[in-house]
């Protein structure tokens, strides 16, 4: 009898040896780790509403989960084109749009590759939107014939042999495999790499005239899993043996650890070795990679972490990703990079990296100090860190300049930690450190003075408004977690209070609470696993056992049921379907999954000169566990933990008793550490479990005949009137008599429901009884000797005779004369237009420095207002200054720190300057 032996791979042998060679304490195979009304987590499986995911082994999981979600199709089609299945038509966020009309007749849409929709197309879109804004979904299925002008691409193919895309990459004519369509509306999706395998998304040129076309059928509603009845299955397919190996008594936890490690490898880009953000996000995002590295990737793969961080550096400064209003400084959380860079240094001890990263952070923060820090509060301005989709976390009336002017909890926590890190780096490098520590101190003071809510026991999400700012009392999950984790801001009592009082829901910690009505899930009404992992880490820091158990389960449940580390999930349903955008193997989600092992169970902490372990192991997770092949500087560690608890009973190093759980960076070679826990949890801790709740709709406020009036808001019991940022009056009435004795008043109103949940404050209504608003047209107010400043009137909507064109190489400095009629505190802002990009993306926010009579006053921020839309005018951020009566020279200059992230395009049209006498 002949026996045929199949070759066995080396990786299989390594995996087999590891998973069969380590003895473990016997524990029940199916012990319960967590249970709630929504789902149960066991040692080997997750069970939810009749569905389950089960670990077959430490390298294999099956799931029969099937989403019941059905989504109506929005008649506004959002799409983008792709050469060869790459996201290479236009920059992120620069999409095409078309609104489907009613009826069965096929619609036809015309586009040009790489070009924005024409003015006529945008006008048609606006007209259609007016018609269908109250009827946004299809009532019947609809066909759309998409026609795409590819003649410019083909011309370049013929003339040059290649076509250069928006990001300067070349697509060779010989490599052209087709043009495809991607988009947001089913059956379209944003999975660019999969396009080449979807022939129904490929456009064809039937008559060779350079106009490609495809007909897409849009269903009335759809369920992505409608025809899915199969059991889904994952089995480890990559060799992960070079990374830390983990084994515990809990089969499912180990399998999810290995799944996350494999997805980490799958997210490594072949072309440069950097981490992509997820299966659908092939780029590197500054905040994504930074939070991922902080959570666990510095520990797991410091080399790829370094490569990824350097992919987000240009001209020696940290890149703020494209975003609201043209990103930086509207979005200002790029200093998350500092958190990650420091973590890489603490892991590797690489002094060259320390010097390089210090110089990059230092140079970047110099610009932040000039353009982002508000000296009056000590806080940094800018959009909520990671919560970068405007209406998802801000009231609709806030435009990019309002968002810039807000002061967010998470963003300020990140800035605080960045300056703490700069101080630590400076000490090691022999550089002056006090100024960085001083800045961190000012931020700390501002956070606790302006954002702490004593009545709620946690921080509010942000200060917001116009000339007067108020605190939004909602919770902001990431910021709350970071406030516990970053040493020095909060007291131990405050940390404990935060974990106990921030509202948590059955499927996890929502990004914000309460939610915003009529806004679909993404950041709103959603749970993000990476935020949940930070929350689990923070909960362990405070010893809150109940919160740790819930948070860990909220990470493990979706990873098991969905067989991937999803980007987000709907807070109300726990489903991955129903959010606006989602992705498999999201980098910070998988990093968060790994962090549950490193940061919670093992309590791993890195410092400039040591690694220490402070495990927090709930009794439900008790037993023996082992972490092998952990690389720390020049040492390779194996760390075994026995038992459970929040404290350590004993520590041994290489079989000998060791006095502490901290080990010096001088350790070299292979070592085995054994930690025995004290089998004691001092207290369970409290958890503020709540149903997902929505705040009332934001009222619309008007001023009419000495009276403020507002609309009745559904569910509201009473309304609170705010005057100049302070609550003035509360009533169930829908009006308020105004006392107009002050020179300037700014009013807002919010609605409060029976649960005590308040809406956002309304858009501010300004009242100037004394006529104390003064406007000076730019073309009339130019100082003597500057009358040659190119006054133009090409675009409509300006006031006066025209406007000035501000560019990097044109009108770099403009001085305006203002005759101030009386002394007082003034709010100063500028009427402008910026059509260099859309409101939601790009990197061309215009920045100028304001001088008054030669003295620097602050940064003037003029965000983008529409892609090639120059007739849409609005106001910049306002700057407050006390002015004497008489003539003043207001100078807008392109200063040393005024470069935006684009570096080349930094301009706007300047119409006028406005001075408002506040008091």
DSSP notation for 859-886: EEEE---EET--S--EE---EEEEE-SE
pLDDT at 498: 99
Are 236 and 262 spatial neighbours (Cβ–Cβ below 8 Å)? yes
* Token digits of residue 870: 């120059």
The C-alpha angle with vertex 834 and arms to 848 and 164, in degrees rounded to 5, equals 105
Token representation of residue 914? 């406005």
The pLDDT value given to residue 170: 94
Where helices occur in 597-705 by DSSP H, the ranges are: none
Residues of the chain falling short of pLDDT 70 = 1-29, 119-123, 129, 133, 226-230, 770, 783-789
Predicted pLDDT at 682: 87
At what angle are helices 587-595 and 529-541 packed, to 10 degrees?
20
3-state secondary structure of 409: helix
Contact between residue 514 and residue 555 where contact means Cβ atoms under 8 Å apart: no
DSSP 531-549: HHHHHHHHHHHTT-HHHHH
Half-sphere exposure at residue 408, Cβ-oriented, CA atoms within 13 angstroms: 29
Domains of the chain in sequence order: 71-222 (no CATH), 701-767 (2.60.40.10), 773-917 (2.60.120.260)
H/E element, 145: strand 142-149
Query: What Å distances lie between residue 687 and 508, 539, 551, 582, CA to CA?
Result: 12, 10, 11, 28
Query: What is the C-alpha to C-alpha distance for residues 300 and 788, in angstroms, rounded to an integer?
Result: 61
At a CB cut-off of 8 Å and minimum separation 6, what does 170 contact? 162, 163, 164
Residue written as token pair 């000076």: 776
Find the distance separating the first CA and the last CA of the chain, reported in whole Å. 101
3-state class of 110 per DSSP?
strand
**3-state SS class at 559:** helix
Residues in contact with 815: Cβ distance below 8 Å, sequence separation at least 6, in sequence order: 782, 783, 786, 889, 890, 891, 892
Q: Which of 251, 255, 187, 254 is nearest to 222 (CA)?
A: 187
For the record, the structure tokens of 896 come out as 């040393």
| Res 1: pLDDT | 31
Angle between helix 477-485 and 409-429 (nearest 10): 30
Q: What is the pLDDT of residue 290?
A: 99
Distance of alpha carbon 631 from alpha carbon 665, whole angstroms: 11
The DSSP secondary-structure symbol of 699 reads P
Give pLDDT tens digits for 543-554. 999 999 999 999
Nearest to 470 by CA among 543, 402, 545: 402
Residue corresponding to tokens 């997805």: 263
Identify the pLDDT of residue 22: 40
Distance CA 421, CA 299 (A): 18
Q: Is the dihedral of CA 490, 496, 500, 506 positive or negative?
A: positive
The per-type count for the chain, helices as H runs and strands as E runs, is: 17, 59
List b or e across 273-311, with b for residues whose CB sees 16 or more CB atoms inside 10 angstroms: ebbbbbbbbebbbbbbbbbbbbbbbbbbbbebbbbbbbb
Q: Give the residue among 333, 499, 517 at the shortest CA–CA distance from 416.
A: 333
Length of the chain (residues) = 919
């Amino acid at each position: 009898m002949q026996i045929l032996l199949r070759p066995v791979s080396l990786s299989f042998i390594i995996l087999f040896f590891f998973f069969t060679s380590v003895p473990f304490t016997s524990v029940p195979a199916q012990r319960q780790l967590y249970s709630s009304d929504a789902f149960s987590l066991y040692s080997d499986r997750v069970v939810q509403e009749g569905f389950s995911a089960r670990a077959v082994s430490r390298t294999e999981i099956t799931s029969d989960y099937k989403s019941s979600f059905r989504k109506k199709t929005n008649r506004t089609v959002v799409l983008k084109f792709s050469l060869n299945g790459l996201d290479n038509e236009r920059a992120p966020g620069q999409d095409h749009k078309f609104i489907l009309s009613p009826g069965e007749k096929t619609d036809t849409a015309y586009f040009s590759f790489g070009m924005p929709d024409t003015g006529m197309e945008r006008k048609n879109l606006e007209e259609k939107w007016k018609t269908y804004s109250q009827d946004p979904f299809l009532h019947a299925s609809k066909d759309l014939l998409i026609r795409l002008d590819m003649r410019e691409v083909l011309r370049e193919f013929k003339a040059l042999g290649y076509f250069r895309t928006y990001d300067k990459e070349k697509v060779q004519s010989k490599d052209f495999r087709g043009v495809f369509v991607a988009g947001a509306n089913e059956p379209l999706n944003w999975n660019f790499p999969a396009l080449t395998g979807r022939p129904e998304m490929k456009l064809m040129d039937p008559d060779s005239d350079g106009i490609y076309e495809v007909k897409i059928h849009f269903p009335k509603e759809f369920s992505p899993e409608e025809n899915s009845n199969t059991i889904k299955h994952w089995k480890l397919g990559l060799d992960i043996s070079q990374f830390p190996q983990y084994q515990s008594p809990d089969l499912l936890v180990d399998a999810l650890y290995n799944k996350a490690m494999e997805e980490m490898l799958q997210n490594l880009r072949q072309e440069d070795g950097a981490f992509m953000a997820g299966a659908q996000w092939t780029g590197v995002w500054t905040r994504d990679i930074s939070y991922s590295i902080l959570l666990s990737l510095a520990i797991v793969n410091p080399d790829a972490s370094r490569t990824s961080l350097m992919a987000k550096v240009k001209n020696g400064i940290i890149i703020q990703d494209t975003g609201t209003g043209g990103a930086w400084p509207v979005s200002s959380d790029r200093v998350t990079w500092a958190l990650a860079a420091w973590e890489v240094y603490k892991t590797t001890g690489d002094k060259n990296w320390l010097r390089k990263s210090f110089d990059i952070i230092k140079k970047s923060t110099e610009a932040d100090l000039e353009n982002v820090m508000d000296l009056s509060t000590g806080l940094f301005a800018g959009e909520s860190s990671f919560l970068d989709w405007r209406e998802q976390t801000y009231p609709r009336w806030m435009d990019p300049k309002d968002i810039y002017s807000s002061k967010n909890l998470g963003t300020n926590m990140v800035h605080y930690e960045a300056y703490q890190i700069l101080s630590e780096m400076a000490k090691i490098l022999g550089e002056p450190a006090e100024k960085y520590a001083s800045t961190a101190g000012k931020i700390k003071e501002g956070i606790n003075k302006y954002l702490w809510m004593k009545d709620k026991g946690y921080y509010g999400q942000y200060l917001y408004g116009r000339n007067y700012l108020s605190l939004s009392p909602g919770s902001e999950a990431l910021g709350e977690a970071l406030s516990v984790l970053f040493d020095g801001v909060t007291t131990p009592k405050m940390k404990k209070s935060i974990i106990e009082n921030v509202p948590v829901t059955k499927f996890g910690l929502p990004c914000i609470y309460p939610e915003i009505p009529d806004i679909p899930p993404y950041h709103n009404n959603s749970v993000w696993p990476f935020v949940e992992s930070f929350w689990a880490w923070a909960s362990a820091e405070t010893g809150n056992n109940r919160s740790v158990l819930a948070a860990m389960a909220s990470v493990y449940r979706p990873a098991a049921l969905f067989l991937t580390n999803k980007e987000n999930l709907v807070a109300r349903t726990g489903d991955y379907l129903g959010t606006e955008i989602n992705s498999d193997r999201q980098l910070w989600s998988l990093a968060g999954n790994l962090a549950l092992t490193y940061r919670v169970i093992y309590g791993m902490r890195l410092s400039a000169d040591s690694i220490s372990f402070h495990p927090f192991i709930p009794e439900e997770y008790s037993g023996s566990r082992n972490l092998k092949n952990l690389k720390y500087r020049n040492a390779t560690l194996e760390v075994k933990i026995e038992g459970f608890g929040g404290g350590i009973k004993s520590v041994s190093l290489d079989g000998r008793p060791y006095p502490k759980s901290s080990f010096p960076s001088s350790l070299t070679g292979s070592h085995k550490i054994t930690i025995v826990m004290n089998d004691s949890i001092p207290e369970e801790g409290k958890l503020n479990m709540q149903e997902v709740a929505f705040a009332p709709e934001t009222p619309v406020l008007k001023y009419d005949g000495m009276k403020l009036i507002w609309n009745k808001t559904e569910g509201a019991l009473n309304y609170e009137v705010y005057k100049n940022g302070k609550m003035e009056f509360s009533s169930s009435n829908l009006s308020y008599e105004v006392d107009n004795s002050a020179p300037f008043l700014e009013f807002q109103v919010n609605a409060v429901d029976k649960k005590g949940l308040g809406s956002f404050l309304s858009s501010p209504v300004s009242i100037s009884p004394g006529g104390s608003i003064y406007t000076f047209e730019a073309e009339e107010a130019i100082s003597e000797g500057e009358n040659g400043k190119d006054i133009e009137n090409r675009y409509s909507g300006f006031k006066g005779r025209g406007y000035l064109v501000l560019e990097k190489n044109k009108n770099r400095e403009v001085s305006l004369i203002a005759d101030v009629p009386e002394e007082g505190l003034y709010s100063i802002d500028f009427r402008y237009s910026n059509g260099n990009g859309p409101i939601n993306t790009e990197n061309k926010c215009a920045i100028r420095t304001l001088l008054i009579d030669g003295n620097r006053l602050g940064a003037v921020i003029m965000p983008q207002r529409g892609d090639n839309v120059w007739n849409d005018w609005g106001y910049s951020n306002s700057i407050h200054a006390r002015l004497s009566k008489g003539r003043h020279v207001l100078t807008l200059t392109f200063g040393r720190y005024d470069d935006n992230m684009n570096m080349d395009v930094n301009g706007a049209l300047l119409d006028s300057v406005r001075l408002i006498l506040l008091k």
